Amino acid sequence: MGERRYFGTDGIRGRANTHPMTPEVALRVGLAAGRMFMSSDDRRHLVVIGKDTRLSGYMIEPALVAGFASAGMDVLTFGPLPTPGVAMMTRSMRADIGVMISASHNAYLDNGIKLFGPDGYKLSDEVELKIESMMDEALDAGLAPPDKLGRVKRIDDSQARYIEIAKASFPKGLSLQGLRIAIDCANGAGYKVAPTTLYELGAEVFPVGVEPNGLNINADCGSTHPQALVEAVRTHRADIGIALDGDADRVIICDENGQIIDGDQIMAMVALDWARRGLLVGGGVVATVMSNLGMERALNAAGLTLERTQVGDRYVMERMRQGGFNMGGEQSGHIILHDYATTGDGLMSALQVLAVMVESGRAMSDLARQFEPVPQLLENVRFTSGRPLQDAGVKAAIAAAEARLVGVGRLLVRPSGTEKLIRVMAEGDDEALVKSVVAEVVAAVKAAG
């Protein structure tokens, strides 16, 4: 695969107003992607654009719009809408391409541009590389003639459409009547749609993180800072707490006692429930190499498989599509329910947890431990130069560690996709063994790097 200059593992991302998150790059993305998805037939071509609540979205969006319109594409802008909502609308409005402006769970300082194809899926590496190769062409290359420029409209009903789609994913005949739900929207893209959906399904809703000001997205709130949710659950004596991240594609749950429930427990709960009801397709779940061994054992005990991919929700989605699975996700709370969405959806995942809770009549704390997680330890080691994983000493340490864990655990050593870091993770039933194994590999990496 060619060298990526703009696109990383999840679209283009960086600090706002520094390369590559500048209006110029956004303009180039619009021009290149617009030209790429314009076919030669004479119909109007359409791009839909959503964003989260970051201040820099006001700068990135008009630049993208100008790029697409000058390539001859019509543009519909949605304003704040969850990432999965933009993916859905791309497909349901028959757009040629969808764009989400967001840096997900990062602070307001960052922003990003994610692209979806007409089918609502994130673009493949190949297509992204093709767009990249067109981005450095002259800014006046391939522009539309004056009578073929795109028209631009703001669409205000996209949030209402998304709410209806989300509500339709909740099992018919069930209601949230009588439930007290705290929801933290991270001052992000879900700040209107998520509380409204829960309210319309019958719940008493206590929202926090619903006052975005452009700078407070993910700031001490949302799924990456669950303390705000825990406090809301205690203050309002809620039956359950739900925390989304800034673009609402991931979720963390908290029980009525303030205990945090991660993506692995959520996946296990919903997968086992779906399997019992004959709704789970593919005979198992797709997760990443980071998911806990305890989840794998719980699924295996129920006759289900756990397929693992490298870290990144796009790799989970690819494996789900290849193997015909309808559920997959990450420990971080990125959960993909393929019956309803083409990418992670925090709100819809939360609705499935609520469905299990309502139907079983049990308290959240009672459902929270679907499996006993095995001790898991992750350490990041910074290095300055070279390729530590090629070092003979590191290879020997990894081989020795793997030998010690055979049958009782597993080891994972991988480079970070974005920084000069080696991530060393081990898990197993014996915590002392896990600690000792990680320490040995970390020491070898430090000695090499």
Catalytic residues: 104
114, two tokens: 């994610």
Which H or E run includes 327? strand 327-329
DSSP H helical segments within 302-373, as ranges? 313-323, 346-360, 364-367
Q: Which residue has the tokens 């397709």?
A: 281
CA distances from 180 to 109, 195, 244, 354 (A): 34, 12, 17, 11
Amino acid (1-letter code) at residue 157: D
DSSP string, 149-181: PPPEEE-SSHHHHHHHHHHHTSPTT---TT-EE
215 phi and psi angles, rounded to 5 deg: -120, -10
Structure tokens, 213: 């000001």
State both tokens at 417: 């996709």
Strands 180-184 and 240-244: parallel
Phi, psi of 415 (to 5 degrees): -80, 150
Residue 345, burial from CB neighbour count under 10 angstroms (0-12, 13-18, 19+) = buried
**Tokens 């809301």 belong to residue:** 232
Q: Three-state DSSP class for 317?
A: helix
Dist. CA 281–CA 283, nearest whole Å:
6
Q: Containing H/E element for 31? A: helix 23-37
What is the identity of the amino acid at 16?
A
Burial per residue of 391-415, b for 16 or more beta-carbon CB atoms within 10 angstroms, e otherwise:
beebeebbeebbebbeeebbbbbee
SS3 116: strand
How far apart are the C-alpha atoms of 244 and 222, rounded to whole Å? 5
* Cβ neighbour number for residue 223 with a 10 Å cutoff: 29
Look at the alpha carbons of 197, 83, 281, 271 in this order and tell me if their dihedral is positive or negative: negative
